[in-house]
């Protein structure tokens, strides 16, 4: 253990071998954690029995007997009671305000049918008769018996007196009722904006479904939350995430104003997890003029922008090289080459990372081409530009990620949500390109794992389960769902620990349980590295710690 203390504390203690004295001054730990297996995600020292923390950093990793030497009268000893300890889990792609909003507003997650949607809306209206507009999120129709999108007429039967705007779970489509369509001035003659679509019925009338950039036509009706309300969403989302075992989150599509809010909330302790803020390019404020910003406590980092190339697969907005197998469309490109490269060049100039949403095989190919043109081979700069989702990528394009130094940020739980419709969207000749984790890893890339919450639940155990099992929560896996694309357990652990740290330039501070790194830990009741697959989603978080401070503990 002597070399471990030396590595952590340099000359702050005396070694008898060096001083010739018989006494050795050993620094005592603030916190010691033991009582369960420790998985470090550090290839040089993959497992341990105990961990010691001093001043918010890891001072010892080893066997219990050695770590016991660091326990003093004031040391906090946390007994895991058989739970397993890991480096802090980080969600590499989530929408923090949306997670909080889902908790505090009309949550349509799990809606089972059109009639169920109507019943939920009626119940909400009865409980909130004062609302002048009804806004909800989280519905998805892929399991509904009706096998179709809802319509404005469906929503009118539940609420007709005020505008209703309900976001599909993927965030790339909304259903609006007739009052909302009227308030937004949408008629049969309304042309969809670039990168958007207004679905119409056989008579040419709007059905109420608005795809991608067309959503803005009705979303302008929704009042922007004030700072106090937005702070409530951010705080609620962060608290929920700490309770689920997440120590960090890469906050995609943030508003620039959220940077100041999060900085204040973090300083006050109202947001305890780490947040890597990634504002939309159009809302990036001073980031594209002055460069990255880090809060005084180091927990809120803003050094990337988010762009969108295409839409989502479920709403058929993802841009495909060939038409969808189940519709006469090839999807939507949401940004022009000129506009995208303008943002990219500004980012490159000011040392700002670019993280771009691309789902379809065309979207990913076009984006890689744009990145190549802007970066001009500048891999030595370690820019770590990212592609968010990479849901469908050709066998030819997958190796380009590694060759260009681009980090794929992928969300394992999408294989659960998309399993029952993606094969129909893509067809048998193209489905092997979807959620191709093994293809990407085999080409030498890392994967920054995320959830895309509130599109998905945002549960780290479900994400891990999906990554290593590629089945839905009942254990079902379709015959065309590419079982060989799974991650190993070691890869899945890294996808939520060290690889998100690399994707956010923090691998020297977090991501592994290693001497000198910040004391960010997650403990689950289930041993992810040995438990039967089916047991993993049934576990729960036992401990969440950031900078040596306990954010959540479930005894």
Q: Is 65 exposed, middle or buried (0-12, 13-18, 19+ CB in 10 A)?
A: exposed
What is residue 17's predicted lDDT score, i.e. its pLDDT? 31
- Residue 5 pLDDT grade (very low, low, confident, very high; cuts 50, 70, 90): very low
Mean pLDDT of the chain: 93
Average pLDDT over residues 418-438: 95
Contact present, 549 and 272 (Cβ < 8 Å): yes
* CA–CA distances in Å: residue 252 to residues 81, 98, 277, 422, 470: 36, 10, 7, 24, 25
Kindly tell me if the per-residue pLDDT of 326 is higher than 50.
yes
The model scores a pTM over 0.95: no
Higher pLDDT, 5 or 432: 432
What is residue 23's predicted lDDT score, i.e. its pLDDT? 54
- How far is Cα of residue 56 from the mean position of the Cα atoms in its chain? 25
Digit-coded pLDDT (tens) for 517-542: 999 999 999 999 999 999 999 999 99
Digit-coded pLDDT (tens) for 233-279: 999 999 999 999 999 999 999 999 999 999 999 999 999 999 999 99
How many helices (H) and strands (E) the chain has is answered by 20, 24
What is residue 382's predicted lDDT score, i.e. its pLDDT? 87
DSSP 8-73: HHTTSS--HHHH--S----PPPSEEEEEEEEE---TTS-EEEEEEEETTEEEEEE-HHHHHTT--T
Q: Which is nearest to 6 in space by CA: 16, 15, 68?
A: 15
- Residue 24 pLDDT grade (very low, low, confident, very high; cuts 50, 70, 90): low
* Cα separation, 345 vs 375, whole angstroms: 8
Output helix, strand, coil percentages for the chain, rounded to the nearest 5.
35, 25, 45
What is residue 11's predicted lDDT score, i.e. its pLDDT? 27
What is residue 142's predicted lDDT score, i.e. its pLDDT? 85
Kindly tell me if the per-residue pLDDT of 298 is higher than 80.
yes
- Residue 74 pLDDT grade (very low, low, confident, very high; cuts 50, 70, 90): very high
* Cα separation, 507 vs 398, whole angstroms: 24
- Residue 380 pLDDT grade (very low, low, confident, very high; cuts 50, 70, 90): low
Could you tell me where the beta strands, DSSP code E, fall in 373-518?
A: 386-389, 407-410, 448-449
Contact present, 523 and 541 (Cβ < 8 Å): yes
């Amino acid at each position: 253990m002597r070399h471990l203390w030396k590595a952590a504390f340099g000359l702050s203690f005396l070694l008898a071998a060096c001083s010739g004295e018989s006494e050795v001054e050993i620094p005592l730990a603030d916190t010691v954690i033991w009582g369960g297996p420790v998985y470090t995600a550090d290839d040089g020292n993959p497992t341990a029995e105990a961990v010691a923390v001093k001043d918010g950093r890891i001072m010892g990793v080893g066997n219990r007997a050695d770590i016991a030497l660091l326990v003093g009268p004031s040391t906090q000893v946390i007994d895991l009671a058989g739970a397993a300890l890991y480096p802090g889990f980080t969600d590499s792609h989530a929408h923090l305000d949306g997670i909080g909003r889902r908790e505090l507003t009309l949550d349509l997650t799990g809606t089972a049918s059109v009639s169920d949607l109507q019943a939920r809306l009626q119940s909400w209206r009865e409980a909130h008769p004062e609302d002048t507009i009804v806004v909800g999120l989280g519905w998805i129709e892929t399991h509904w018996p009706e096998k179709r999108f809802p319509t404005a007429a469906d929503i009118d039967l539940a609420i007709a007196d005020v505008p209703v705007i309900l976001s599909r779970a993927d965030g790339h489509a909304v259903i609006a009722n007739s009052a909302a369509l009227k308030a937004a001035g949408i008629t049969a003659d309304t042309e969809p904006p670039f990168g958007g679509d207004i679905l119409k019925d056989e008579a040419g009338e709007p059905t109420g479904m608005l795809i991608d950039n067309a959503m803005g036509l009705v979303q302008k009706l929704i009042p922007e939350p004030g700072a106090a309300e937005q702070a409530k969403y951010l705080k609620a989302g962060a608290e929920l995430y700490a309770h689920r075992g997440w120590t960090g989150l890469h906050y995609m599509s943030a508003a620039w104003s959220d940077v100041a809010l999060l900085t204040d909330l973090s300083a006050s302790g109202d947001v305890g997890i780490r947040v890597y803020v990634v504002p939309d390019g159009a809302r990036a404020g001073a980031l594209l003029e002055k460069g990255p910003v880090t809060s005084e406590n180091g927990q809120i980092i803003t050094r990337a922008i988010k762009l969108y190339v295409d839409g989502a697969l479920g709403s058929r907005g993802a841009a495909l090289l060939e038409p969808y197998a189940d519709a006469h469309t090839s999807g939507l490109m949401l940004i022009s080459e000129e506009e995208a490269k303008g943002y990219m060049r500004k980012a490159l100039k000011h040392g700002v990372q670019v993280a771009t949403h691309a789902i379809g095989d065309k979207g990913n190919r076009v984006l890689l081409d744009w990145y190549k043109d802007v970066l001009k081979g500048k891999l030595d700069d370690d820019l770590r530009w990212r592609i968010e989702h990479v849901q469908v990528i050709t066998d030819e394009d997958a190796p380009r990620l590694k060759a260009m130094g681009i980090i794929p940020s992928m969300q394992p739980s999408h294989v659960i949500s998309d399993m029952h419709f993606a094969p129909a969207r893509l067809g048998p000749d193209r489905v092997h390109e979807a959620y191709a984790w093994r293809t990407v890893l085999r080409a030498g890339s890392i994967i920054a794992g995320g959830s895309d919450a509130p599109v998905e639940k945002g549960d780290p155990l479900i994400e891990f389960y999906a990554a290593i099992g590629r089945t839905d929560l009942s254990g079902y896996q379709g015959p065309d769902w590419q079982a060989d694309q799974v991650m190993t357990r070691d890869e899945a652990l890294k996808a939520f620990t060290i690889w998100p740290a690399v994707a956010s330039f923090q691998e020297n501070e977090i991501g592994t349980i290693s001497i000198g790194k910040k004391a960010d830990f997650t403990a689950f009741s289930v041993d992810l590295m040995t438990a039967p697959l089916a047991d993993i989603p049934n576990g729960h978080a036992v401990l969440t710690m950031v900078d040596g401070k306990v954010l959540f503990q479930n005894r």
